[in-house]
Structure 1
């Protein structure tokens, strides 16, 4: 029951069906606090984008988008919306945390958040490492499989939910391989600040992501911890993997230009140049120019490859 300061649970008790086991006022307050933090970080990242030239703001915009979407999702969860009651596989009548409740609240709003934000997190990392486009696409596909199977498993009432958990974990292992081995090699080719930023943020993120299947097993999967505990577990992980990760990444990109990563981002000056000099292409500069894959050679010298953005 909501206290005098937060009436969200009372007001929205008439919206949809509700589970026997759902968040209390404490969980709602926590979700709202995380919502506020995500919103503040979105404004911070957008503000920091003005410290970079317009053509070098891609990572600021991606990172601000991550926290912006998360802000909306946490507002929904704090309001006890975007949820459905699902019969728990394990009732656990002897537990002081979950009691003998038959249905448990499942927030599909959380997965709608992840299906948008987790590919953006990977995009931040893979573009920083100068990974080729085909590798980026297959890694993002694995990420979507991971999130969607997690959602289907959470909404499944029988033990077959663990099959979806296994599929999602397998996708996570593939993502970990791409970050820890393949993308690492590309980042090493770049060297400098790009390599340092990728190594720090990549290792940090993949460590956190391996804790999410544990949180899932204790909450949506195994019905071991109360939804308030679930809120804290996922909330702390999301704070670390979105605002904290984002701040580390943005700070790491202070001295990195898009051209160093093999990215070709057209701005007004480039468009004007190409208009009056149709044969003049804008080529990237710096050590990242050839990171996009095997470059064709002309007279024994590699020609620059780049990604158009």
Structure 2
């Protein structure tokens, strides 16, 4: 048989839902997987055009697409999923009327719990946001993703309670990006401010579409898993590779020190260590140049030794 055989091969792995992706959905997931992998190689290649201490944004962005590449490979293979009883059975909907159980890709949430904090870190470091504020925003992001997963795995209407917690976390994140982080970016000015405003507005717009996708798929069982694959795939492609290219382009003339980061490369560290050891070797002891630094009694080392003749 020629073509994508992942669904047939992995049909024996774990339990499967009544409503799951078809070969079209699998092909789409593999296509996004390839885009994520190619983006990772490009970001890493661009990193080598910058000095070592200025590659942090390239490494963070490449990590985002690398993790997403693995997650999309799992979803394209119909792995990393679990069947969950659908809350809403819609017999009149020809796309989802076969649903008793619907497959939920927990692999997607493992991806998000790693990559969404890295996306925020790209933005917040660009804006020069203080570390305590960064930690608070990243915690809110983790809450948003975990509550999304808990809601997706819940078969009753209580899933919408988890959705509400996630939305509250999202609004907190957006508030911090719009006011606190923007204020810090304005203080930096120049390319840092322009890059933050462009990438920040772009990401916030995309992120507000994720709750809609969740409500139509895991939440409301309105669209087929193939439609879910397309919806989430487009959003992830925009918020990871496209966002990454915009961010890296904005940083093309920037250095890590211009956004308040102090990152030493290996040569600087070796030089400081060498200078420190030399300064200790030639330091003058407080008791004078003839004193014993080791603390044991000894004769002075300067001049000739004096012998007493009996």
**TM-score exceeds 0.5:** yes
Structure 1: 5+ residue runs without aligned partners?
280-309
Q: How does 1:150-165 map to 2 (within 5 A)?
A: 150-165=148-163
Partners of 1:93 and 1:238 lie apart in 2 by 30
In structure 2, what is the equivalent of residue 28 of structure 1?
26
In structure 2, what is the equivalent of residue 93 of structure 1?
91
- Structure number with greater Rg is 2
Partners of 2:254 and 2:121 lie apart in 1 by 16
Cα pair 2:18 2:98 within 8 Å, conserved? no
The answer on 1:188 being equivalent to 2:189 is no
TM-superposed CA distance for 1:24, in Å, is: 0.3
> Runs ≥4 in structure 1, deviation > 4 angstroms?
none
Partners of 1:229 and 1:101 lie apart in 2 by 14
TM-superposed CA distance for 1:278, in Å, is: 4.2
Partners of 2:32 and 2:80 lie apart in 1 by 16
Partners of 1:269 and 1:49 lie apart in 2 by 18
Cα pair 1:43 1:64 within 8 Å, conserved? yes
Q: What SS class does the counterpart of residue 26 from structure 1 fall into?
A: helix
C-alpha RMSD of the superposition: 1.1
Partners of 2:158 and 2:132 lie apart in 1 by 33
Cα pair 2:80 2:106 within 8 Å, conserved? yes
TM-superposed CA distance for 1:272, in Å, is: 2.5
In structure 2, what is the equivalent of residue 68 of structure 1?
66
Alignment equivalent of 2:227, drawn from 220, 223, 229: 229
1:34-61: per-residue Cα shift (whole Å, max 9, x none)? 0000000000000000111011000000
Q: How does 1:97-112 map to 2 (within 5 A)?
A: 97-112=95-110
Structure 2: 5+ residue runs without aligned partners?
278-310
1:138-194: per-residue Cα shift (whole Å, max 9, x none)? 000000000000000000000000000000000000000111111000000000001
Partners of 1:28 and 1:229 lie apart in 2 by 11
TM-superposed CA distance for 1:268, in Å, is: 1.8
Number of residues of Structure 1 aligned to a counterpart in Structure 2: 277
TM-score using structure 2 length: 0.88
In structure 1, what is the equivalent of residue 175 of structure 2?
177
In structure 2, what is the equivalent of residue 266 of structure 1?
264
Q: What SS class does the counterpart of residue 131 from structure 1 fall into?
A: coil
TM-score using structure 1 length: 0.88
Q: How does 1:7-22 map to 2 (within 5 A)?
A: 7-22=5-20
TM-superposed CA distance for 1:274, in Å, is: 2.2
Q: How does 1:225-304 map to 2 (within 5 A)?
A: 225-278=223-276
Alignment equivalent of 1:204, drawn from 202, 205, 208: 202
1:80-135: per-residue Cα shift (whole Å, max 9, x none)? 00000000000101101101411000000000000000000000000000000000
Partners of 2:169 and 2:127 lie apart in 1 by 20
